[in-house]
Every structure is written in C-alpha cells, then in structure tokens.
Amino acid sequence: MTHRIAVIPGDGIGNEVMPEGLRVLEAAAKRFDIDLELTHFDFACCDYYEKHGKMMPDDWFEQLKDFDAIFYGAVGWPERVPDHVSLWGSLLQFRRQFDQYINLRPCKLLPGIKSPLADRKPGDIDFYVVRENTEGEYSSVGGKMFEGTEREVVIQETVMTRYGTDRVLKFAFELAQSRPRKKLTSATKSNGIAITMPWWDERVVAMSDHYPEVSVDKFHIDILTANFVMHPDWFDVVVASNLFGDILSDLGPACTGTIGVAPSANINPEGTFPSLFEPVHGSAPDIAGKGIANPIGQIWSGAMMLEHLGHADAAKAIVDAFEAVLTEADQAVLTPDIRGLGNTATLGRAIAARL
Amino acid sequence: MTHRIAVIPGDGIGNEVMPEGLRVLEAAAKRFDIDLELTHFDFACCDYYEKHGKMMPDDWFEQLKDFDAIFYGAVGWPERVPDHVSLWGSLLQFRRQFDQYINLRPCKLLPGIKSPLADRKPGDIDFYVVRENTEGEYSSVGGKMFEGTEREVVIQETVMTRYGTDRVLKFAFELAQSRPRKKLTSATKSNGIAITMPWWDERVVAMSDHYPEVSVDKFHIDILTANFVMHPDWFDVVVASNLFGDILSDLGPACTGTIGVAPSANINPEGTFPSLFEPVHGSAPDIAGKGIANPIGQIWSGAMMLEHLGHADAAKAIVDAFEAVLTEADQAVLTPDIRGLGNTATLGRAIAARL
Ligand SMILES: CC(C)[C@H](C(=O)O)[C@@H](O)C(=O)O
Ligand SMILES: CC(C)[C@H](C(=O)O)[C@@H](O)C(=O)O
C-alpha cells in the first residue's frame, strides 16, 4: 500500500528543516519497507502570496484532498504578510476544511535538552495536550461598530457546538484510556467565562460516564498554566478548547525546554480528509537562511505522521534515533540552540544515519 | 484625613489571613501616622449565600460606594456554590460596578521563596501584569441554541470597546514610563483571534505614539506564556485583555514561586469608586480551618492599598518588613508552604513586629 504525502515547506526555516524531515522519513521508510509517494507543493507560504495576492490557488482543496497526509513546515512572515492573513489563508483553512479537529502535541523532557524548570529529568514530564482545532474562540463571527470613533465597539464570538466538543472529548478520553495512568485533565474557565465554559464542564462530565476507568479532573486555565510550571508531573492527557489548547501546547513544550523541537499533529481521525503534521515552532524569520534551525520538530512530526498512517514501529524508531543522538551529545552534530557547533543538515544526517 | 476601608474576609482562608492583613496594616498606620477607619462586612461569601440565596444584599452598592477602598480576602467554595454564581455575584460585580478597570499584579522573586525555575535569584524577575478588568472575554452576552440536543450550539461574545481598551493601555504606558526600563509588552493573539486582537494591536500602536520613551513589543499569548517560563527577565510591564491578563497574572507569580503570596489591586484610577485589594490565592477550601495559610498575599495587598491611598512610604515599609522576615527564615515563624513550622498567626505577628 502506497501512502501519498503532500509536502509543503512553507516559509522561512520551514524550507530548511523540511529536507531533513524528509531525509529521516525516507530512511525510516526504507528500513521498515513503507511505500511513500511524496508530492511537493509551492503554495501556502508568503512567497506564493507575494506572487499571486493569495496564499493558495483556488483549487487547493481539490489538489490536496486525496492525499493521505500533509507534511508541513512552517507558515508566516509578519513583516511581509500580516499573520492573520497568512494563517487564515493557509494553515487554518487546512484545519477547518479538512476537518482536522484534533490538534495533538506531546510534552516530554528529552535527554540532552535543558528544561527551564529546576530539578526535572527525562521521565518526569510526559503528557499530551489534546486541543480542539476547528471552532471555539477561533471564529470569524463578529465585527465592529462605530468604527474609527471614540464609541468603537469590537465583538468576536466564541462558538462551541456539542458535535465539535464531544468528538474532541471522546478522542481525549480514548487516548487517556490507552495510557498507563489513565488520567484526563480538562482546561476550563467556568468561573469567569460564564456561558461557554460551564457548558464545556458539563460535556466533560457527560463524556466521562462512558469512560469509568479514566480519572478526570479540571482546572481553570489561569491556575492550570501555573500548574504546568509548578507540577508538570501531574498531567497525562490534557484536553482543551482551541484557544486554551493553543496556549497549553506552547507552554507545555516550553516547560520541557522543547519548544524548538516539539511536533504537532492536526488530525482528522476518520481519515475522510488528510491529516497534517507540522513542528510547533514557526518560520523564525530571524534565523531563516542561516541553515542552523533545529530539524527535530520536523523529524518528530514525521514520526507522528507515520504513526497516524499505521506504522507505530517506524515512528518509535525515529524517536529512539533522535533521542540516541541527543543522548550522545556530539557537539559537532548538534545545532546551536542546543549548544552544538553543527547545523540543520549535520543533525538531520546523524539522525537518519542512526536509523 | 481619614481613610475609610471596607473589610470583607469572604470565604475559606480569607477569614484566616484577613486578621493578619489587618494586624500589619494597623502597625503600618501607627508607625506612619495614618488614620484608618475599618468597617467589617459579612457578605460577598458563600456563608451569606447559604443564608440569603444571594451573595450580597440588594443595596451592596450603596453600602460600599463611599469607602476609599475595599480590603478583600478570598471568595468561592465550589462544593457549596458553583464558582460562576459566587464570583459573578460578588468579586466580578465589584470590578464592574465600581469600574475597577485595572487589575495590577506584581511578579517578583522574593528572598526565601523557591522558584520552580532553574537558576533564578531575587532581582532577576520583577515585572507587573496590567490586566483589563471589566470587559473583553468576560462578557455576559451570548446563549445557547438547540439546547440539550445533538445540534446544541453555545455562543459567548467577547466585547472590547475603544473606551475600555485605551484607558487600560494608557495606565500601562504610564506605569512603564515611570519605571527605569520603560518597557511595555502587549499580549495578543492577532494571528488566530482575527477580529478583536488585530484591533487590540492597532490600539497599542496608536497609544504608543503618546509615549515615545517607552519601548513596545508584543507576543501572541501562546508564545508569551512560554516566554514567561523561558525568559521572565525580558518583562517590565505586560498589558493584556481580561482573559489573557487573568492567565498571565497567575502564571507570572507561579514562575516566581509566589502564587501563594502574590497580591492584586483592582483599581478605579479616577477614585470615583473604591478600589479593591485582594491576594491572588483563592479561598483554598482544602486547608481552610487549619490556621496554616500564608498571610503574605493579604499583607502585600494591604501594602498596595496604602500605596494607592497615597502612602508609598508605608507600603514600602510593609514590603521591606516581610522581605526581612523571609530573609531571616526563622522556621518557627514561617508557614508550612514555605517550609516553616509556624502558622498564619506566627508569620503575621513577626511581620507586624518588624514594622
Ligand atoms: C475567580 C475568577 C473569576 C477570577 C478571574 O478570573 O478574574 C480570578 O481568577 C482572578 O484572577 O481574580
Ligand atoms: C499560527 C497560529 C494561528 C497557530 C494557532 O494559534 O493555532 C499556532 O499558534 C499553532 O498553535 O499552530
């Protein structure tokens, strides 16, 4: 069986980490005898916008919809295109039109990567953030009144549906059930955001009835962010709305020191549409073109993609390979962000070689 | 001139830390010859709710509006009254009806209090979060449709006004201008929350024209929370919407290890209505009744209150006093949360004695 992968490097360092992501992916495919067919696309980036006045061609949906997965680099370059234009014209379209309603991000301490937290070591922190990825606070409903005057009022609506909420909760409960600790934490703010969030809490309680083995707790988002810093070992699976999940899935990797190397999966669990895999880091215009970006985020995202495509063994081999390279800590190989003297290519090659 | 203070201990440990807050306040008043008139109120707590079916009497506004300040303990006890009922029936009413549109919280490493971050020491972290405190994401506008069915849709509107936004930005710019570093950071999410937040960014730019000496930057809330953990030394004054400010002003003190002792001020800068001063910690039902709660949050809030009332010298003396007691680190005096063997009263008394 051939897996058809759409490859979109995007902006900035996306173009630099993607070749290493592909190098490792191909090494894994070879070793595990997986048949990958890669097709490259040059849209969904600011270069394309500057040429065509839009982020993607009109038929992007048709062009991409039959792929098994999208392997994405990074998008955005605020000095060239405002972020809300570039993002709503690409990544956020994929998430919505391909109904990638799960955003999944691991938060894990890695060997050889320094955490900003005191007294933590690999094994202490290992959890997932499951984020709702299509609705909620990221809505396009709202507008302005008395625009440009002293009386100006700006309104934006958060829209949550039972359909959209229950399915992300279900995914999170299933994930929690499959893990040894079987623990789910819900991010809420029902004491302040008094319409949507108390309702979110109710849906969590309703869903928990179907998963008696899973222990459930909840925290308001303010103290939850505090607990990520103070007690990251408390968490196993954390489920959150679109905005809260966005925050927690940057903060989690920040606590493990892995924000530059964390992966993310935008999943359509039913497989009706392609799922999308991308590193958490952005396009990093400040270091773009220097060849020093750390490619592990892209490589790890490739591992999540293989796992999604049914190759858990190959995914694990990739993670083992980069953990081994990190443990070895050969300065000549590592990128500068993790105190090495190497570059994007030396690190990518070392990981591929290890496979 | 007499300052009239309304004293409201509220719920749980609010009742235990308030006496120590008052003890230190009175010691400072004596030393600096400040005339305080304290009036105690038994409402705005769950006890009152259980007796009267509401959090406050109907004429609470009349009863409180002529005070110079409100000194509050903590409110909420979710096992007895749902949070959105207790909070919207008390604290959030004060903030709105008394137009306390600034929520101000210091984030500061203290001697003798362990930070969860590695390699940080007192002096490294010292910034303020300025939070919009009356509008934005905390709105009561919205509702449900198809309630109780599979088609259920729940909507809540974020409402921002130029009036409400500009005045909090102005306060934050003034504060930044008054500090040595003169640096302001704006919390945004204009890449995802694409109606209100790009507009927020525009208002920041417009206001910055009036403060050419203040250097301004902005971060999206996701990476901003990450930077609180990775680079807390970057920040001087951080300005944020109601929800983002809520998150940042818990996360900031968490990074300094001071979430149990941080103060907060809910300010009506014009003095048309009383401002309100309360510790950041909640009512902590789990330790209520044990007499072991750390009273520094209440005491530090008292210092912020004195500063607001024009007594910066007395405020500084209180902060110096508790910093001295923390530096001394007499185990018999400190509360268990900071590895002491004492209790709420021993710590409160030691600080008052130091004054
Ligand atoms: C209790 C809650 C409603 C409140 C808020 O969200 O404003 C609290 O978290 C705070 O920050 O004072
Ligand atoms: C770039 C931005 C719109 C996006 C988001 O907020 O979803 C990013 O932060 C992410 O988490 O993938």
**How far does the centroid of ligand 1 lie from the alpha carbon of residue B267, in Å?**
15
Q: What is the mean pLDDT of chain B?
A: 96
**Judging by beta carbons within 10 Å of its beta carbon (0-12, 13-18, 19+), is residue B53 exposed, middle or buried?**
exposed
- In this structure, are B77 and B153 located in the same domain? no
Residue B275 CB contacts under 8 Å (≥ 6 apart), including other chains: B69, B70, B98, B100, B265, B266, B267, B268, B305, B308
What is the b/e burial string over B84-99, where b = at least 16 CB atoms within 10 angstroms of the residue's CB?
bbbbbbbbbbbbbebb
Q: How far is CA B296 from CA A301, B7, B49, B258, B323, in A?
A: 46, 17, 28, 10, 10
Mean pLDDT of A128-136: 97
Interface test with A, best of B79, B83, B207, B230 (most A CBs within 10 A): B83
Reading the block at residue A306, the tokens are 């293989």
* Number of domain units in chain B: 2
CA-to-CA distance for A150 and B271, rounded, in angstroms? Answer: 22
Mean pLDDT of A173-180: 98
Residue B205 CB contacts under 8 Å (≥ 6 apart), including other chains: none
- In this structure, are A32 and A64 located in the same domain? yes
Mean pLDDT of A6-23: 98
Reading the block at residue A64, the tokens are 């991409």
DSSP symbol at B337? G
CATH number for the domain spanning A175: value is: 3.40.718.10
CA neighbor of A285 nearest in space, from A122, A112, A86: A86
Greater confidence, B82 or B14?
B14
What is residue A84's predicted lDDT score, i.e. its pLDDT?
Answer: 83
Mean pLDDT of B267-279: 97
Spatial contact of B135 and B168, defined as CB atoms under 8 Å apart:
no
pLDDT (tens digit, 9 = 90+) per residue, B124-155? 999 999 999 999 999 989 999 999 999 999 99
Is any atom of ligand 1 closer than 6 Å to the C-beta of A222? yes
Conformational region of residue B115, where left means phi above 0, alpha means psi within -120 to 50, and beta covers everything else? beta
Q: How far is CA A305 from the centre of its chain?
A: 11
Band of residue B69 on the pLDDT scale cut at 50, 70, 90: very high
- Letter for the amino acid at B187? A
Atom in ligand 1 nearest the alpha carbon of residue B133: 7
Single residue among B262, B290, B317 that ends a domain in this structure: B262
CA-to-CA distance for B261 and B258, rounded, in angstroms? Answer: 5
Chain position carrying tokens 């409100």? B70
- In this structure, are B169 and B198 located in the same domain? yes
Mean pLDDT of B246-275: 96
Portion 88-117 of A in contact with B at CB < 8 A: 88, 92, 115-117
- In this structure, are A162 and A247 located in the same domain? yes
B29 touches chain A (CB under 8 A): no
Percent of chain B with pLDDT over 90: 96
Single residue among A264, A299, A316 that ends a domain in this structure: A264
CA-to-CA distance for A68 and A2, rounded, in angstroms? Answer: 9
- In this structure, are A208 and A118 located in the same domain? yes
> Closest-CA residue in chain A for B134?
A192
- In this structure, are B117 and B249 located in the same domain? yes
Task: Please give all residues whose beta carbon lies within 6 A of any atom in ligand 2, as ranges.
Answer: A 87, 246; B 191-192, 222
- In this structure, are B223 and B122 located in the same domain? yes
> Closest-CA residue in chain B for A226?
B251
A199 touches chain B (CB under 8 A): yes
Mean pLDDT of A5-16: 98
Band of residue B204 on the pLDDT scale cut at 50, 70, 90: very high
A216 touches chain B (CB under 8 A): no
Reading the block at residue B162, the tokens are 């130029």
Band of residue B304 on the pLDDT scale cut at 50, 70, 90: very high
For A230, the domain range is 102-264
- In this structure, are A112 and A245 located in the same domain? yes
Band of residue A142 on the pLDDT scale cut at 50, 70, 90: very high
Q: How far is CA A9 from CA A2, A275, A337, B31, B102, in A?
A: 22, 16, 21, 67, 44
Instruction: State the helix-helix crossing angle for A196-208 and A162-178, rounded to 10 degrees.
Output: 50
CB contact under 8 A, B247 and A221: yes
Neighbours of B144 (CB within 10 A): 16
CB contact under 8 A, A138 and B192: yes
A38 touches chain B (CB under 8 A): no
Percent of chain A with pLDDT over 70: 100
- In this structure, are B49 and B146 located in the same domain? no
What is residue B93's predicted lDDT score, i.e. its pLDDT?
Answer: 95
pLDDT (tens digit, 9 = 90+) per residue, B150-198? 999 999 999 999 999 999 999 999 999 999 999 999 999 998 999 999 9
CA-to-CA distance for B224 and A213, rounded, in angstroms? Answer: 36
* pLDDT > 90? residue B84: no
DSSP symbol at B269? T
What is residue A83's predicted lDDT score, i.e. its pLDDT?
Answer: 86
Single residue among A245, A264, A283 that ends a domain in this structure: A264
Q: Report how many Cβ contacts below 8 Å link chain A to chain B.
A: 202
- In this structure, are B236 and B349 located in the same domain? no
CB contact under 8 A, B194 and A140: yes
CA-to-CA distance for A91 and A114, rounded, in angstroms? Answer: 30
Would you say the C-alpha torsion A234, A236, A239, A243 has a positive or negative sign? positive
- In this structure, are B108 and B170 located in the same domain? yes
- In this structure, are A254 and A342 located in the same domain? no
pLDDT (tens digit, 9 = 90+) per residue, A238-286? 999 999 999 999 999 999 999 999 999 999 999 999 999 999 999 999 9
What is residue A351's predicted lDDT score, i.e. its pLDDT?
Answer: 98
